[in-house]
Amino acid sequence: MNWLDQVKWDEQGLVPVIAQEVGSQDVLMFAFMNREALARTAELGQAVYWSRSRQRLWHKGEESGHIQKVHEMRLDCDADVVLLKVEQLGHDPGIACHTGRHSCFFRVWRDGQWQEVDPVLKDPERIYK
């Protein structure tokens, strides 16, 4: 059996993907992959996602330079979620979020509201020209 056939793809042919930083174990982002994106990720050793908004493959860092070097790919027990252990490259500390933050998970629920707790490391206007 082809290794890609072992993944349980949803009705759109996608699988959810979590990117986790290999050193800190921080959860950096959540995205989707189709078969081609997962195959390209395995081939390149860099994260390639499926952009639902642009309806095309998206090589992480193609515009920002914030590439994700893949150290390990894992498939969960139900075979319907992929976990990437990545090294976030292109800036120190690494920037995974399009808002210029280290992680896309920068809001914390406190005192009845979502509060932004992580700093912007680089102005997105300077990242995306």
Is residue 51 a contact partner of residue 59, using CB atoms and an 8 Å limit?
Answer: no
Kindly state whether residue 97 falls inside one of the protein's structural domains.
no
Give residue 77's pLDDT: 98
Count of the separate structural domains present in the chain: 1
Domain containing 33 equals 3-92
pLDDT along the chain (129 residues), means of 10: 95 98 97 98 98 96 95 98 97 94 97 97 90
CATH number of 71's domain: 3.10.20.810
Kindly state whether residue 16 falls inside one of the protein's structural domains.
yes
Kindly state whether residue 14 falls inside one of the protein's structural domains.
yes
Kindly state whether residue 38 falls inside one of the protein's structural domains.
yes
Give residue 111's pLDDT: 97
Kindly state whether residue 67 falls inside one of the protein's structural domains.
yes
Regarding beta strands 15-21 and 82-88, do their DSSP bridges make them parallel or antiparallel, or are they unpaired? parallel
Any alpha helices (H) in the chain, and if so which ranges? 35-44, 124-127
Give residue 44's pLDDT: 98
Give residue 1's pLDDT: 78
Give residue 72's pLDDT: 98
Kindly state whether residue 101 falls inside one of the protein's structural domains.
no
Kindly state whether residue 29 falls inside one of the protein's structural domains.
yes
Kindly state whether residue 102 falls inside one of the protein's structural domains.
no
Short-list 68, 123, 71, 116, CA closest to 98: 123
Amino acid letter at 124?
P
